Amino acid sequence: MDTDLYVLSGVDVPPNVLILLDNSASMSEVTTGQVYDQSIDYSSYAPATLYPRYSVYYRATGSKWTIWQEDYRTIICLDLKSQLDQYGQAINYSINLETTNCVGSRRDFQTGNYMNFLQLTGGPGGNLPRFGLATGIIHSYVNTTSGVRSQS
């Protein structure tokens, strides 16, 4: 019966914990573990490749980024402009690359300042995708906590 789950039977049973991880496409996104601060000019810290602070790049194919605009502050689409100003990146935004209007093909965008930030904090190539980061943290927690039983 289900009541066995809720009734203390006098037997010392350790708790069971089930951990579920999302394995959708968004979990493949690489993360640095650091927080981007738009008020910092990361180019002043001399990254290996210097990207102009206000320039905007879009993901053309795979991991290749192509320059799109020299200054994101001139973009007509206010939603994209706001996203780039606050976070330095915008994922899966619908934009017309010719007119900078908010209607067009969906793409990922990053500012030059955000790309400088990624270089200085490890960025893609130096860090794990979200899924890898999450599983690593869970493995570390399980392996460093006494009394944990695990079953996969």
Residue 63 lies in a domain: yes
Element (H, E) at 124: helix 123-126
Residue 71 lies in a domain: yes
Q: How many domains does the chain have?
A: 1
Residue 108 lies in a domain: yes
Residue 33 lies in a domain: no
Q: Where are the beta strands (DSSP E) in the chain?
A: 56-61, 64-69, 89-95, 105-111
Residue 136 lies in a domain: no
**For residues 36 and 133, is the Cβ–Cβ distance under 8 A?**
no
Q: Residue 92 sits in which domain range?
A: 45-127
What is the pLDDT tens value at each position of the chain, 152 positions in all? Answer: 455 555 666 667 777 777 888 888 777 776 656 778 899 998 888 877 889 999 999 998 777 899 999 999 999 999 999 999 999 999 988 999 999 999 998 999 999 999 998 888 765 444 567 777 677 677 766 666 666 776 66
To the question of pTM greater than 0.85 for the whole model, the response is no
Residue 118 lies in a domain: yes
